[in-house]
Amino acid sequence: MRVFCIFLARETSKLTAKQVYRVSANQMTMKSNRLFFIDAMRAWAILMMLQGHFIDGLLDPIFRDVSNPVYNVWLYFRGITAPVFFTVSGFIFTYLLIRVPQHGMENPRVAKGIRRGIQLLVIGYLLRLNLGGLFKGEIYDSFYLVDVLHCIGLSILGLIGVYLLTAKRKKYVFPLILVSTTLVLFLFERVYKDWAFAFLPDFLANYLTKANGSVFTIIPWFGYATMGAFIAVLFTRFKNYRYLYPAAISIALTVGYVLIYQSTDFFEMLYNWTGLNFLNLILTNNYLFIRLGNVFVVFAVFMVLRQFMTNKTVLKIGASTLSIYVIHFIILYGSFTGLGLYRFFNNSLSPEIVVPGALAFMVACTFLSLQYNKYEAHIKSQIAWGGSYIKTQFIELKEASTPLLRELYVRFRLFLKRVFRTVRS
């Protein structure tokens, strides 16, 4: 018996050691598969968005001089922020979507993505609510306008749709449709840009046109999300390639250079050759392809610096973009109350005030977001407890009041019978 116990203890220790090794190996694999530079890009994009919205909303127009090199550089980089944010959002979602072994509806990321997309749409509308209007029984027209969150949420749902449609097809079909979507949306943007979509209700037309005041529209911005998804597919397919990053950096820089400096000449050549009018329209403002080139250059820069992108605070900021966006919207634009900085200082501040103010705004929004994320589980548990407590009290009140209501109902019926009997008499 003693010999058997010793043997069993040895085998158990071996098994435990193997399990520990497997767990540690899996953790190392997950850590090595995590693309830290993408989190850093997302952190950079959200911080650029914070200062961009602050300065653009509060800077006095007399200081908006495009001949000023400082303002011109700021304006150029501000134009890069949204394309980077949409592209990175499409990259991250698709990278997580296709890395799991399950396919189609069996993929757990599909259900999570649908919930996430709907969540972003709901939050986008909630941020445009005005409590003062609700108390008056009104919903202002600004509630129906479309912003970044609406478009990203709808883009996630669109990527899921493309994924499900191509789940049972050849592997090349999914990336082919992604890159084709980007090309179609970008090539014909000048054609559909002026369409009013008047046949649609305003709340739907706002997703397609800026005529009613929407800040972003799903077309053409979905094209950046699909391009990010296409890049994610490439990273997933070649993740074990020895020279992944040298090749990716070289390709990104080359594509970025061609799109920024050569795409306009290329479209002009195509127009002269084919005479197609939509190519001539692109020549008037080729910003979509040029900004896409900027995105590829930003990808290349962050991949080059990827060894320095493992700072915990930077990664936390990259993982907290939604809460940062919500907090900045409330402080700057006054969601719910209308009492934001934009209401009191709209286009009225000088650079001496607005620049340090933008820095303070970035720090404040980031700090509040990180603090929220630190206590997020506790806050959500308290909200859930509050909801369950209210529900319990309502049920108890209902059970306690049921006999009283029944008695009042019986007495009311008797009262009505007596009244009608008296009237008849």
Say yes or no to pLDDT of 18 above 80. Answer: no
User: pLDDT category, 308, cuts 50, 70, 90?
Assistant: confident
pLDDT in tens, 233-242: 999 999 888 9
User: pLDDT category, 227, cuts 50, 70, 90?
Assistant: very high
Whether 20 is covered by a domain: the verdict is no
Whether 222 is covered by a domain: the verdict is yes
Residue type present at position 323: S
pLDDT in tens, 78-106: 999 999 999 999 999 999 999 988 888 99
Whether 13 is covered by a domain: the verdict is no
Whether 157 is covered by a domain: the verdict is yes
Whether 220 is covered by a domain: the verdict is yes
The pLDDT of residue 24: 43
pLDDT in tens, 188-212: 999 998 888 888 998 899 999 998 8
Whether 75 is covered by a domain: the verdict is yes
The pLDDT of residue 323: 93
User: pLDDT category, 349, cuts 50, 70, 90?
Assistant: very high
The pLDDT of residue 198: 86
> Is-above-0.75 flag for pTM?
yes
pLDDT in tens, 287-306: 999 999 999 999 999 999 98
Whether 8 is covered by a domain: the verdict is no
Buried b (16+ CB within 10 A) or exposed e, 104-138: eeebebbeebeebbeebbebbbebbebeeeeeeee
Whether 150 is covered by a domain: the verdict is yes
- Structural domain including 163 reads 35-395
Q: How many domains does the chain have?
A: 1
Among the listed ranges 155-159, 207-211, 320-324, 397-401, which one has the minimum average pLDDT value?
A: 397-401
Asked if the peptide bond before residue 220 counts as cis, ω within 30 degrees of 0, the response is yes
